[in-house]
Amino acid sequence: MTEPTDTSYELVDSTALALAKLRCPRCHQGKLFSTSALNVTQFAQMPAQCPVCSQSFEPEPGFYFGSMYITFAFNVATFLVLGVLIYYLLGNPDTWVYVTIITGATVLFTPLILRYSRALMLYLFGGVQYSRKWGRQ
């Protein structure tokens, strides 16, 4: 696995902000993902452990299979929000317009949805608590 090239680790005290920035749940400094979300072929690649505190990002084999349910919830929310917006903004267009816009948005949001699903899974069910002592000062 490749290490992140950015060696500056910003301390984030807020758990919600650390989750939004996709940082390690233990130290809130290390990055959860090795590459940019715009890297189409490797957007889901995660290092085996945090580069700052060495926290394992896969607590057990198959841990992230549960994130499929979170991904499903994100996709349902995307469908509902876009469906309502299309209905009110475009005046209930033909079915192909709904299908095209929602499918395009789902494909475009896939890297972000997958990343945040995995991050939520790790934060909620990974059994890791934030502690300042694990971060770099």
Q: Provide the residue-wise pLDDT of the chain in tens; the chain has 137 residues.
A: 444 445 555 666 788 888 888 898 888 888 888 888 788 788 888 888 888 888 888 888 888 898 999 999 999 999 999 999 999 999 989 999 999 999 999 999 999 999 999 999 998 888 887 776 655 55
Q: From residue 117, how far is each of 99, 121, 134 by CA, in Å?
A: 24, 6, 24
* Residue 7 within any structural domain of the chain: no
pLDDT of 2: 45
Q: Which two tokens stand for residue 5?
A: 């090239």
Residue 113 in domain: yes
User: Which residues, including other chains, have CB under 8 Å from residue 90's CB and lie 6 or more apart?
Assistant: 97
**Residue 29 in domain:** yes
| 57 to 72, 87, 89: CA distances (angstroms) | 22, 41, 42
The radius of gyration of the chain's CA atoms, rounded to the nearest angstrom, is 18
Q: How many domains does the chain have?
A: 1
- Is there a domain that residue 47 lies in? yes
- Name the residue among 104, 85, 75, 77 with its Cα closest to residue 93: 85
46 inside domain: yes
**CB 65 within 8 Å of CB 116:** no
**pTM higher than 0.85 for the full model?**
no
**Residue 3 belongs to some domain of the structure:** no
Burial label for 129, CB within 10 Å (0-12, 13-18, 19+), is exposed
Print the domain residue range for 54.
Answer: 15-134
Asked if residue 120 is part of any domain, the answer here is yes
The Cα–Cα gap between 90 and 80 comes to: 15
Residue 10 resides in a domain: no
